Chain A
Amino acid sequence: MDYICLVYVDENRLASLPRGERDTLLARTCDYRRDLLAEQHYQWGRWLPSARLATTLRRRDGGLRLRDGAAIRGEEQLGLVVLLRARDLDQALTLAAGLPLVELGCVEVRPLSEQAPWVRQGDT
């Protein structure tokens, strides 16, 4: 089964990490990804840089409304999205919890919809 892993972190906390620690986080994540890929768990993933780079839009009354920032405002913001394939939810949770970034926040795991994907990602 396929699961989506949404990793939420406090951006300010991430930004205040010393450069060395951030680089280590990156390296560990790359290593982890490689391991997951080898075991065919990893489907694809993307880093989401700062929520400050986000733009949220709504269409109402036929007009477009744009706003600077993420759709959800809070202490923790989405920082990483990964699609994993696992035997079951328990395994998905174990695998997701192993993502290094989770140490700074949390990860929400959800099964992908039972409907077929609108379009399945081609790349990893």
Chain B
Amino acid sequence: MQTSRHIEALYRDESRRVLATLIRLLGDFDLAEEALQDAFTAAVTQWPKDGIPDNPRAWLVSAGRFKAIDRLRRRARFDASLEELALRFEQATEMPDLDLSVEDDRLRLIFTCCHPALSEQARVALTLREVCDLTTEEIASAFLIPVPTVAQRIVRAKAKIRDAGIPYRVPEKSELAERLGSVLQVVYLVFNEGYFPSSGEALTRTDLSGEALRLGRLLFSLLPEPEAGGLLALMLLTEARRAARTDAAGDPVLLDDQDRSLWDRTLIAEGESLVERSLRSRRFGPYSLQAAIAAVHAEAQRPEDTDWEQIVGLYDVLLRAAPSPVIALNRAVAVAMRDGPQAGLALIGDLLAEGELDNYYLAQAARADLCRRLGRLEEARDAYRAALALCQQGVQRDFLQKRLAALDVERGHA
């Protein structure tokens, strides 16, 4: 039927917006979700007869609100306090201009789901559920955790929002940068989990990365802040390499060995443009800088064309903006490319001596590679073994095993 297909499309395109507005009007996630379902049910029943309304979204919000009031009235027979709530919603006369406020509502929803008073796990689960409309099962399977665990995280997150008084609001200008950081962290976590999962057999989980990209685009469209643009750029530039990242057997291919003709130049162009815009603003931060580094890589037609000088320079700035041992490690690898393996090895040695990267397998893998390049094969073997001891991801382990085996071949020919 024409109408039912229209409603399906409407659900796909508009349900998140309607939900965001209902959450604001009703002040409760669960109530709003029920209202959303009720509204679409009503649409399926009434629109074939009455025709599709001029402003479907407004119709759905209005219907949802009335259905919610009905529900509360019915429940008030068992719990008197709900009657007061129903009355309050009913009396809220002003239906605000939907077109102006709806993007505000979506931002409110994102910022609330990513509130720093919630644990990181709670933020991720709640955002994927409420903003991205993933089911509990989809979230559980994406992160390889049990469904009840995800369900409980979401229930508890909603309870904390309600009972601890987390407001449904976009942060004040003075707090925006800091609170945005919390949102970006969630998006990036989801993207990384999809692109570089911590465990399991498949190397990439396309669905999560796609969600993160959609979320990043939405966020940037609602809030064109430099770091939001920076994160989107970083994700685009990383995603651009997807086709080249694994070979036919599904094994990982290092950046140096990738077939650059498989890189998606459209995504790269979009990413580069966002990076430029962000850096020009001067209010850029770590995501923009990481994106800039990715852009320098993307510019190189061949690995030997890579401007390592620029990359090291960007890492210097990044290290000042967001000091971390992992970034220091990446900088060391870049220094090795610019100045030779010995220089990089010295830096990595310092980091390991400080005990910063004890559990990080990539530090050992980097060390192994540099030792190999210097012909120090025994040390390279030790380092690959150390890396294997620390690595859980199936495909990455296979990769390390292969590199280790290749060393033996080299040694055999030495």
Structural contact, B163 and A66, CB atoms closer than 8 A: no
B144 within 8 A of A: no
Among A49, A64, A69, the residue within 8 A (CB) of B119 is A69
Q: Is the CB of B156 within 8 A of A66?
A: no
CB of A53 within 8 A of CB of B160, answer yes
Q: Is B321 an interface residue (CB 8 A)?
A: no
- Residue-wise, chain A 51-82 has the 8 Å CB interface mask toward B (1 for contact) of 01111000000001011110000000000000
Residues on B with beta carbons closer than 8 Å to the beta carbon of A49: 163
A27 and B160 CA atoms in complex are apart in Å by 26
CA distance A52 to B160 in the complex (A): 7
Q: Is B353 an interface residue (CB 8 A)?
A: no
Give Cα A68 to B178, complex, Å: 16
B176 interface residue (CB < 8 Å to A): no
Q: Which of B84-104 contact A (CB under 8 A)?
A: none
**CB within 8 A of B164: which of A55, A64, A66, A67?**
A55
Q: How many residues of A contact B (CB 8 A)?
A: 10
Q: Which of B117-133 contact A (CB under 8 A)?
A: 117-119, 122
CB of B215, distance to nearest CB on chain A (Å): 21
B159 interfacial contact with A, CB 8 Å: yes
Considering only CB atoms, which chain A residue lies closest to B162 in the complex? A53
Within the complex, which residue of B117, B156, B178 is in contact with A55, where a contact is CB–CB below 8 Å? B117
Report yes or no: A66 in contact with B116, Cβ–Cβ below 8 A.
yes
A53 to B164, CA, bound (A): 5
- Contact assessment for B117 and A52 in the assembled complex, using a CB-CB cutoff below 8 Å: no
Say yes or no: A64 contacts B160, CB within 8 Å.
Answer: no
Q: How large is the interface on B (under 10, 10 to 19, 20 to 34, 35 or more residues)?
A: 10 to 19
Partner of B178, one of A54, A64, A67: A64
CA distance A58 to B247 in the complex (A): 47
**Contact assessment for B156 and A52 in the assembled complex, using a CB-CB cutoff below 8 Å:** yes
Docked complex Cα distance between A14 and B197 (Å): 38
Nearest-Cβ distance from residue A103 to partner chain B, whole angstroms: 25
CA distance A94 to B410 in the complex (A): 79
User: Which residues in A have their C-beta under 8 angstroms from that of B160?
Assistant: 52-53, 68
CA A49 – CA B162 in complex, angstroms? 13
Q: Given A66-B117, A68-B118, A69-B119: A52 and B159 within 8 A (CB)?
A: yes
Q: Which residue of A lies closest to B119 (CB)?
A: A68
Closest B residue to A56 by beta carbon equals B117
Question: Smallest Cβ distance from A38 to chain B, in angstroms?
Answer: 30
Q: Are B163 and A68 in contact (CB under 8 A)?
A: no
Interface centre among A55, A64, A68, A69, by most chain B C-beta atoms within 10 angstroms, is A68
Using CB atoms, name the residue of chain B closest to A55.
B117
Q: Are B117 and A68 in contact (CB under 8 A)?
A: yes
Instruction: Give 9 nearest A-B pairs by CB, closest first.
Output: A68-B119, A55-B117, A66-B116, A53-B164, A53-B163, A68-B118, A53-B160, A66-B117, A68-B117
A-B contact pairs, 19 of them (CB 8 A): A49-B163, A52-B156, A52-B160, A53-B159, A53-B160, A53-B164, A54-B164, A55-B117, A55-B164, A64-B178, A66-B116, A66-B117, A67-B119, A68-B117, A68-B118, A68-B119, A68-B122, A68-B160, A69-B119
